[in-house]
Every structure is written in structure tokens, then in C-alpha cells.
Amino acid sequence: MPTALIIGSGPGAAGAALALAADPAQQITVVDVGHGLEPELQEVRHSLASTNEATWSPDYVERISHQPVATKGAALPQKWAFGSDFPFRDVGQLAGIHPIGQANGSVVSGAYGGFSNVWGAQLMPFSRATFDRWPVSFAEMDPHYRTALDEMTLAGDEDDLAGLFPLIVEGRRLPPLADRTKRVLDRYSTHRADVRSRGITVGRARLAFRADECTRCGLCMTGCPHQLIYSASQTFDRLRASGRITYRPHLLAFRLSEEDAVPSVVVRNTGTGATERLTADRVFVACGGIGTTRLVLGSLERYDRPVTLQESVQFVMPTLSARAGADPRTARNFTLNQFNLLYDHTGEGLDLCQVHFYDYNPAFLASLPGPMTAPRAEPLLAAFLRRVSVGLGYVPGWGAPGVRVTARRNGTDELPELDVDRDGTDGWPPMLRGLVRAMLQVAPALDLWPVLPMTTVSAAAKSYHFGGSFPHGTERTPTSTDRQGRLAGWDRIHLVDASVFTSVPATTFTLTIMANAHRIASEALGSRS
């Protein structure tokens, strides 16, 4: 019986697992650090999910509603899940990672499901123009996008965004939108020709979200008690329950090798410290863009040679409207991203900036100066909240500084030390300036005015949209992979996460990780080598 070993449990690992599990002959083992939500918080979440919302304990709601926490170099605070920082907590996977300056150091997740426990749930493919620069076409990716979208459950509507980003599968309807979002979309519809002539397209959010089951309890951003937002852990829960995979948690991979067409992985138990060498017919590496890069650099002993990953740099842009909507604190809304604004720099569907807009959630209050939330300032606060939306945006990796990582020998056979730094200068990337100019031109039409003094750009590696350390090329080399994610010298070790992305555009990221991993594993099953 053919055997496969997957390292990790994030979206890349889930995509590979789906492809492998479709072959009944495959015997699949998943090794993972696999840290999870604390048992007491799991009980709180389960209690809320299993009872009528009208009877929810305010204390329980508060316990799983921990608001985001400010971190070094971040335009956006760190998002917790169900009152816990478990997706970011160091349980061995971050030891030896050294952020330089303001760079983010929490770049590898040890959580079961990885960073998909706290992602924004946005689902769009890469544009066809993006794949024109890859050795894989959009048409080749299409069936793998379909599999990933079906697994994640797409919620979204056909609108102008579909011109560059087709829905691919039929989506579920989003819940009713917030008043502010409806006003922007209505104004876009009225002034569509003028707005689009400036390179701006506006449309509803596309989300990995069982929207038709949403109760609009308002807890999306801190953790949906009903788990309606997709996490890769859900895929692994299902595959484990069906017996299609063997899942082994508490194992940190620190060495890859392949000899006589037999790949192997050395792992350490994070609880006992015991090490073990595992072999399989094929190994699929999905430790995340920087986690996989570190593992590969150490395995190949490529020390003291900087490697640059592209990063779709993240920025936060508050916006105000002259015309007030309803006070959002009195409405029942889902609090995920509700509408998207896309800026097409050249009109070719490649040099794109994307902004995901959020209406009110309680995190807004936590970010305001104290005097604005004082009781005597209530009229001012209400006026502000009736006019504000917050945009979380990205610029493409080729239009912004990258992330430079350097592996350092540490005197052991385990993972190397890793320096993480910005590969370039901080500040506003030029494409962000172009987006701002276009937004100011259409602001009167949309009544969506960017607040430029409060627009901030995150430090290196804070977007979590980074990759391309070993990009897909037309052939295997020591620094680039073939279309099956294999480096020179490795025939049966496949990298399947964003480390193999040929480029990192500004448009949504996780769907393509999962779909590309599914493609790689599917092609590997049919490979003769």
C-alpha cells in the first residue's frame, strides 16, 4: 500500500490531504505540532453553541470575546480566537526565530489548523493574469479551486469582481449586510461607470462561511461559537473521523532527507523530547511559508545566505462618510469583511491592490482614544461610528519590500536559528500611493473618504501573506521547485504551501494555498518519478 506523510495541519496540508484521501489505496499519516484551544475555553464555546442565544451567559460570552492585542510593528493588532492566543503561542516551533527591528516573530503557527484559526475567511482565486507568470495556468488550477471552494463553503454573490475573479462554484448568499455597506454598494451602482474609469471596482465579500446558518451574534472576529467559519482543522477532523488519515500531534519536524528515492523526516516530540525518523513513499511539507523555508534551509545546510520571500504587505485604512448611517451598535450584523474594493493599477488584472472593508465590531472601541469612549462623549462617539468603516488592505509582493530570512547554524541537528527582517525600506509602497489617489478621486461618488493620517503599514512579515522562497519554475534547481514543489535532488519530497508560490499578489491568499497543494498532491499521485 502506498504511503504518504504530511507535515502540518494548515490549509496547504488540508489541500494535500484531500487529494491523497481521494485515492483509497493511500495510507496517510499527518505529523503536526497540533497545539489546540484550552479545554476550559472549548467547554465555554461548546456550551454557547449548544444553547439558545437568548440564554447565553454574559460571562461566557466575555471569556471567548477577547479583543485583538497590540503587537510590535503591527498596523493591525493580533487577533485571538475564543479568548486564546493559541494560534500564535510558541510550543517549540518559534524557538530560535529572531525578528529584527519591528519585524514579526510569530511567523509559524503550532496550532491544529494553523493560522486558519484566525484568518479573515476571504475567498477569491488569483487572477488569470497572475497565472500567466506561473508554470501553471488558471485552467489547470480550476478543478483544484473547485475542490477547495466546496470544502471551505463559499459565501458570495456574482458582481463586478467576477470579471477578474470568477466565483467558480455557486456560493451561498451572505447574511444581510450592514447599513454602511449597503450605502456604499448603492452609491457604487449609481456611479459605476465613473468609479470604474478610475480603476476602482467594488463588490460584496467572498467568504469561507456557512452563511445560511449565521445567527448574526456579532462574534465572528473573536471566534464563531457555531464554527461556521472554515478552519483547516475541520477538514482534518472529518478525515480523522472517517479513518482516512492517522494524525500524530506534538511532533515538530526538523530534518528532511531523501536517499535512494526514500524520503524521511526526523521529528521531535514536543512533550518528551524524544526523536524519531519517519519514512514514506512521498512527503508533503506544509509548515507555512517561513516554517517550510526554515526546515528546508536547515535540512540542506544553507546557512548565512539570505533568502527573500515576497510579501503582500498589509495596511490599515479607516474611512469616513459625510452621510451618517444607523448606529451600528444597535444592529445585529455579522462582523466579517462585508465589501471589497479593488484597484487595478494597469487595467491588466495583475497589478492589483485590494482592500477588505469591515463595518463596526467591538474592536473599534478598543482602538479609540479613551476620551472618545467616555460617557460624556457619547454623542461624538455615535456620530463617528455611524460614519466609519475600516479597510484592511494589501499591495502585491512585487510592489513592496519582501521578507528576508537567514538561517544560522546553532550547533545542533535541529532547526536552525532564523533571522527575520524587512528586505527593503519601511513606509508606504508606491502602489499604495496610487490606490490612495484613486480612492480620493472616487470618494465623492462612494462617500468613502480615506483617513490618511490614520493609514498605517505593517512591519515585515505581519501580513502572513508571504511566500515564494522556493518558487515554482519550469525545472528543479537548488532554489526553485518544479510544478510538483520539488527541489533539485529531491524526487519524493514536495513543498505544498506558499513557499512555492511564483508570485504573491495582493488578492486573497489562502484559497490558492489550498488549491495549489491539492494540485501538487494530485499530480504527484500520477507521477512516475
More confident residue, 362 or 316: 316
What DSSP letter does each residue of 250-266 carry, written as one string? SEEEEEEEEETTEEEEE
Per-residue confidence band for 81, with pLDDT thresholds at 50, 70 and 90: very high
Rounded distance between C-alpha atoms, residue 115 and residue 510, angstroms: 10
Tell me the angle at which helices 510-525 and 138-152 cross, rounded to the nearest 10 degrees. 110
Say whether 526 sits in a helix, a strand or coil.
Answer: coil
Place of cell 535532488: 489
User: How much is the pLDDT for 77?
Assistant: 80
Residue type, 523: E
- Would you say residue 33 has pLDDT above 80? yes
User: How much is the pLDDT for 74?
Assistant: 59
Q: What percent of the chain has pLDDT over 70?
A: 98
User: How much is the pLDDT for 70?
Assistant: 73
Rounded distance between C-alpha atoms, residue 250 and residue 231, angstroms: 19
H/E stretch holding 29 reads strand 27-31
- Would you say residue 76 has pLDDT above 80? no
Q: Which CATH number fits domain 3-525: 3.50.50.60, 3.40.50.720, 3.40.190.10, 1.10.3720.10?
A: 3.50.50.60
pTM of the model: 0.96
pLDDT digits (tens, 9 = 90+) for 98-146: 999 999 999 999 999 999 999 999 999 999 999 999 999 999 999 999 9
CB-based burial label for 270 (10 Å; 0-12, 13-18, 19+): middle
- Per the structure block, which three cell numbers stand in for 82? 475564543
- Would you say residue 360 has pLDDT above 90? no
pLDDT digits (tens, 9 = 90+) for 176-202: 999 999 999 999 999 999 999 999 999
pLDDT digits (tens, 9 = 90+) for 208-260: 999 999 999 999 999 999 999 999 999 999 999 999 999 999 999 999 999 99
How far from each other are the two terminal CA atoms of the chain, in whole angstroms?
Answer: 17
Give me the long-range contacts of 50-54 (CB less than 8 A, separation at least 24): 53/215, 53/217
Place of cell 439558545: 52
Give 480's contacts (C-beta < 8 A, 6+ positions apart).
Answer: 470, 471, 472, 473, 487
> Once rounded to an integer, what is the mean pLDDT over residues 261-284?
97
Per-residue confidence band for 527, with pLDDT thresholds at 50, 70 and 90: low
Per-residue confidence band for 419, with pLDDT thresholds at 50, 70 and 90: very high
Chain mean pLDDT for the chain: 95
